[in-house]
Amino acid sequence: MSNYIIETKEITKYYDDFRAVNGVNLKVPKNSAYGILGPNGAGKSTLISMLCTIFSPTKGTAIVNGYDIVKESHNVRKSVGIVFQNRALDDVLTGREHLEMHAALYGVKKDVRQDRIDDILELIDLGDKIDEKVKNYSGGMKRKLEIGRGLIHHPKVLFLDEPTLGLDVPTRENIWSYIKNLRNNIDITILLTTHYLEEADSLCDEIAIIDHGEIVKTGSPSNLKDGLKIDTIILKSLKNNQLKDILQNQSFVNELNYDGSEIRLSVDKGAKLIPEIVHIAEINDITIESMELKQPSLEEVFIKYTGYKIDR
């Protein structure tokens, strides 16, 4: 039995001459949080839509929960929950009515339906608001309800397409906490698309960076950042000029910049070099007043593999 809940096989989607997704091969481990990271128009939503069987691929296919998305689309749809980028809630219904309707649509049996709804109500924690009309909900509450609704039929995979798009920072962080809680309490794989770098860094076990419909790099957030090997060490001392002259001749220094107040070193594996730098300063009778290690960000990873910032 495969350890992967999703496996794509050269999956491709053309719109006339435009290649929205081009020969993508991905393997998403079971019970993981997997992120598809890319700017608007990169192909994230199109890829998700094919995996959910909303769109048919032009070429290639994918296996989701053991089912082929082309040949066994009905079984795929029963295996997944979906939260779309654009909200799909009826403002005149209450939160509870949304859950009841969705449970019925997905064929949840009547004798277990109420227990399922009660479980979701506990998970999404909307309190008394669950019996109010959705038009009175905040953006964060609506997003929680949509995620809860997507879980009502116990899917094996939950697709979240830009789950926090348009939300303010506190609400976004609240949704992140909610998604992390899902992972800790439910046997489920979460695949999310996002162009928020901090979201991918916070939530995902693995990330695939997509650009112009193609996967340009995959890996865990930490491995992707470590792979850049461009740590920065920032130093200050009372003898900056002397320390600068000593350090610029060290073989471990890739680049040194000095603005008159602080020394900035570009190095590989900066954490391991800090004791050596302290030792070099001590034997030269130089007291280091401050030292800061800055490791690469996911934004720097994105720039390296795509050539531009994500908010282009």
Distance CA 243, CA 53 (A): 61
Q: Is the dihedral of CA 119, 124, 128, 131 positive or negative?
A: negative
Q: How does pLDDT run across 112-154, given as a tens digit for each residue?
A: 999 989 888 888 888 889 999 999 999 888 988 998 898 888 8
pTM for this model (two decimals): 0.81
Q: How does pLDDT run across 13-45, given as a tens digit for each residue?
A: 999 989 999 999 999 999 999 999 988 888 999
Which pLDDT belongs to residue 119?
87
Overall average pLDDT of the 94-101 stretch: 93
Token pair listed for 227: 């792979």
Provide DSSP, 35-94. EEE--TTSSHHHHHHHHTTSS--SEEEEEETTEETTT-HHHHHHHEEEE-SS----TTSB
Which pLDDT belongs to residue 215?
95
Token pair listed for 269: 């594996």
Overall average pLDDT of the 194-213 stretch: 91
Token pair listed for 290: 């401050």
Distance CA 268, CA 290 (A): 20
Which pLDDT belongs to residue 1?
66
pLDDT at 200 over 80: yes
Cα–Cα distance list, 48 to 22, 63, 160 (Å): 13, 13, 9
In the chain, what are the domains? Answer: 4-225 (3.40.50.300), 229-295 (3.30.70.920)
Q: Are strands 33-37 and 206-211 parallel, antiparallel or unpaired?
A: parallel
- pLDDT-based confidence at residue 84 (cuts at 50, 70, 90): confident
Q: Are strands 80-83 and 231-237 parallel, antiparallel or unpaired?
A: unpaired
Provide DSSP, 185-230. HS--EEEEEES-HHHHHHH-SEEEEEETTEEEEEE-HHHHHHTT--
Count of Cβ atoms closer than 10 Å to residue 141 Cβ = 21
The residue that leads in pLDDT, 183 or 253, is 253
Overall average pLDDT of the 253-276 stretch: 91
Which pLDDT belongs to residue 184?
81
CB 160 within 8 A of CB 147: yes
The residue that leads in pLDDT, 259 or 230, is 259
Distance CA 117, CA 94 (A): 13
Q: Under 8 Å CB-to-CB from 229, ≥6 apart: which residues?
A: 268, 269
pLDDT at 192 over 60: yes
Q: Diameter of the chain by CA atoms?
A: 79
Judged by average pLDDT, the poorest of 180-194, 242-256, 282-296 is 180-194
Which pLDDT belongs to residue 311?
61
User: What percent of the chain stands above pLDDT 70?
Assistant: 99
Mean pLDDT of the chain: 90
Q: Are strands 189-194 and 33-37 parallel, antiparallel or unpaired?
A: parallel
Residue type (1 letter), 297? S
Which pLDDT belongs to residue 312?
46
Token pair listed for 8: 């794509």
CA 189 to chain centre: 13
